[in-house]
Amino acid sequence: MSIILALLAALFASFTAILAKIGIEDVDSNLATAVRTVVVVIMAFLMVVITGQTVSIMKVSMNSYIFLILSGLTTGFSWICFFKAIQIGDVSKVVPIDKASVVLTIILSFIILKEPATALVVSGGIVISIGTFVLIGKDKKKDKNKEDTKKKVFNTKSYIFLAVLSAVFAALTNILAKIGIEDVDSNVATFIRTVVIILFAWGIVFFQGTFKELKTISKKSYLFLILSGAATGLSWLCYFGALALGKVSVVNPIDKFSVVLTMILSFIILKEKPTKNTIAGAILITIGTGLLVI
């Protein structure tokens, strides 16, 4: 059951990045994150109500609250870095780097959670790592205009750095969430984390003063940001349900299979051009994920 939920989480996560890329055009990335989070928190609360777990919110232990709040904060940092990265870079490049968090998560799960380092898990993690680095590759194209070239190099370094930061925060999110979710309903845990994220996201928006731009966001951008938020909500519900049932070192890598699905959608919907690196990397990540499922 945990594997099925993890695969569903990956499917919804792949739609999240594509829809967000379309909706985030001409919109401040932090403001876009805040708008999306409103949708996610509403979905999370509805799931708590539907499953009859509203009373459980007050019964969560202080220890669980601390780790879920920390998990929410690291998610907020991860989102800010990720959505800024996809705004200035290609989705097919940013997502693979961000999803490298799977390797960090596996390592931390062995060290902190004391999960067994089986041969298949280690092998799967290594293959996924290789696939991720192959995906990043190098841009061999040269621009005759030196100024344009410098700008492209700067933007490339910027979104790679942001994607790496996103991966680090995402890995911490998974570990903190696993600790905090013990003896807590997965829907309740998702809701608590999302409340932290929405406060964090809107706090940044008001601090920057970008909330004034809400009126200038087009209907198209609002639509795709809302759809992206809905996809995130569904992905989270599936992911944390899987996390409550399975091991982090297995569930997280399967969820990160969304990188391959996202790349395929980016080629079809966003018309991003596939390269030998992206194709080879996708194949390696698929093989690595298969090892983890086994």
Which pLDDT score is estimated for 138?
59
Which tokens in the block code for residue 223? 């639509």
Which tokens in the block code for residue 178? 């696993």
Which pLDDT score is estimated for 155?
60
Confidence (pTM) = 0.69
Q: Which residues of the chain are modeled with pLDDT < 70?
A: 99, 135-156, 249, 252-253, 256, 289, 292-294
Which pLDDT score is estimated for 283?
81
Which pLDDT score is estimated for 199?
93
Distance CA 31, CA 210 (A): 7
Distance CA 152, CA 128 (A): 28
Which pLDDT score is estimated for 258?
79
Which pLDDT score is estimated for 152?
55
Which pLDDT score is estimated for 222?
92
Which pLDDT score is estimated for 139?
52
Which pLDDT score is estimated for 256?
67
Contact by Cβ (8 Å): 225, 30: no
Which pLDDT score is estimated for 150?
53
Which pLDDT score is estimated for 69?
93
Which pLDDT score is estimated for 73?
93
Kindly give, in sequence order, each residue whose CB lies less than 8 Å from that of residue 199, ignoring residues fewer than 6 positions away: none
